[in-house]
A and B are shown apart, each in its own frame.
Chain A
Amino acid sequence: MTSALVFLAAEEGHKENPLVPPWPEVVIGLIAFVIVFGFLAKKLLPTINKVLEERREAIEGGIEKAEAAQTEAQSVLEQYKAQLAEARHEAARLRQEAQEQGATLIAEMRAEGQRQREEIIAAGHAQIEADRKAASSALRQDVGKLATDLAGKLVGESLEDHARQSRVIDRFLDELEEKAEAAR
């Protein structure tokens, strides 16, 4: 029953002070710690530090990339906006130009039409005048001849003298015109 206790009591007598370390335990303690420190300090912590550093860089790199993409997007947007504004400006300019051109065209056509109309009218007038003159002269001759014939027949005298004849006819016609004038 007490065999273990007796052994332990004997041990206690041998090393009664718990603050005095036996050297084999110091040696083992040192070895145990050196194992841990050696592996951690020489191999494992440098390895993980490298990865932690890489991770930090990866995260920062990602942020940088995102920033770069954002800047690019911004510049592209501005470019597009500028292009759009330019296109609007161009369209407005073209519209203005077209309007101006249209107005000029209409004005030109109107002027042309006016000119043609006046030409036609003038031609018509000239034609009418010429016709009137021709008709008038033809009429005058016919009327003269008829009157002469008629007068010859009536007075029985040949009015062969041309000059006299003409004078008489003219006088007659003038009288007719005066009458017509008066009647009007």
Chain B
Amino acid sequence: MSADPTQTLAFDTSCHLFDGCGFDTVAPGLHSFLFEPLLGDADGNGFYFNKPMLLALVGSVIIVGFFWAAFARPKLVPGKLQMVAEAGYDFVRRGIVYETIGKKEGEKYVPLAVSLFFFIWMMNLWSIVPVAAFPVTSIIAYPLVLAVIVYVLWVSLTFKRHGFVGAFKNFTGYDKSLGAVLPLSMTIEFASNLIVRPFTHAVRLFANMFAGHTLLLLFTIASWYMLNGIGIAYSAVSFVMVIVMTAFELFIQAVQAYVFVLLTCTFIQGALAEHH
């Protein structure tokens, strides 16, 4: 059975409480994160283009446009837009990079941190933008790309800074005073740093956005679903939850962007630090 081309929402809007239609037919799930391609075919192995991709590209253009408007012709005495952008830039630069890596060594990584922060924030923000209403980062591919970039950067930095043996010691947390447990500790550290770390780095962002979007969908769909007879009272409660969760998501979106960049800087700092 092929999809209804006029279907734009992720659930059946004609299904209501007391209509003999169960909530399980409209409840959000994994399918809420799958989109019918706008171009191409998702079934084959060929290239396709869907809504999250569009949002990702448009989001990039928005970020570049914002910073272009603010920074392309900067003034010594900033205007309002430049002031706002400078505040954001300064927050990442001083609040994250200088705090973790330090001013001297960190300066090089400021552009990466700033780009990561605003990119992730924008991708998260799509979640509460009307019509878009989907956090791009709730699709694992996007956090994964960013986590891999960071992973490649800090691993190569470790090798460059400490040489092969030094890097190995750095990865494994080599410490002679551990004695007999050293092999075990080294194995755990090695797995933790090189295998688990990039995975959790990506999944932390992905899962937060995934869960947040699912919650928002749940309450939004429930509000609609219960809009029948006495169910209107329940619907009102659910709708209040939509608003509360939207505000909460707004907060989580910024926090997750912050956490991702903070971890990035911590990894870089660990790579640059002397082995102890």
Whether B12 pairs with A18 at a CB distance below 8 angstroms is no
Most A Cβ at <10 Å: residue of B4, B85, B110, B140: B140
By a CB distance below 8 angstroms, the chain A residues around B31 are 5, 8-9, 11-12
Which of B64-72, B167-175, B257-265 touches A?
Answer: B64-72
Whether A7 pairs with B57 at a CB distance below 8 angstroms is no
By a CB distance below 8 angstroms, the chain B residues around A50 are 74
Whether A28 pairs with B74 at a CB distance below 8 angstroms is no
Tell me how far the C-beta of B186 lies from the nearest C-beta in chain A, rounded to whole angstroms: 28
Tell me how far the C-beta of B269 lies from the nearest C-beta in chain A, rounded to whole angstroms: 20
Whether B57 pairs with A31 at a CB distance below 8 angstroms is yes
A154 CB-CB contact with B under 8 Å: no
By a CB distance below 8 angstroms, the chain A residues around B182 are none
Which listed residue (A1, A18, A58) contacts B33, Cβ 8 A?
Answer: A18
Whether B144 pairs with A44 at a CB distance below 8 angstroms is no
Tell me how far the C-beta of B196 lies from the nearest C-beta in chain A, rounded to whole angstroms: 14
Q: Give bound CA distance, A157 to B42, whole Å.
A: 197
Q: Give bound CA distance, A11 to B2, whole Å.
A: 11
Q: Give bound CA distance, A178 to B173, whole Å.
A: 155
Q: Is the interface of B mostly helix, strand, loop or mixed?
A: helix
By a CB distance below 8 angstroms, the chain B residues around A28 are 49, 53, 56-57, 141
B72-116 interface mask toward A, CB cutoff 8 Å, 1 = contact, 0 = none? Answer: 101110000000011001000000000000000000001110111
Whether A51 pairs with B111 at a CB distance below 8 angstroms is no
B30 CB-CB contact with A under 8 Å: yes
B212 CB-CB contact with A under 8 Å: no
A41-61 interface mask toward B, CB cutoff 8 Å, 1 = contact, 0 = none? Answer: 101110110111011001000
A84 CB-CB contact with B under 8 Å: no
Across the two chains, which residue of chain A brings its CB closest to B67? Answer: A44
Whether B111 pairs with A37 at a CB distance below 8 angstroms is yes
Across the two chains, which residue of chain A brings its CB closest to B76? Answer: A55
Query: 8 interchain pairs (CB within 8 A)?
Result: A3-B7, A6-B1, A36-B118, A37-B112, A39-B67, A40-B64, A47-B74, A51-B76
Question: Which residues of chain B have a CB within 8 Å of any CB of chain A?
Answer: 1-4, 7, 9-12, 14-15, 25, 29-31, 33-34, 36, 40, 42-43, 47-50, 52-53, 56-57, 59-61, 63-64, 67-68, 70-72, 74-76, 85-86, 89, 110-112, 114-116, 118-119, 139-142, 144-146, 149, 203, 206, 210
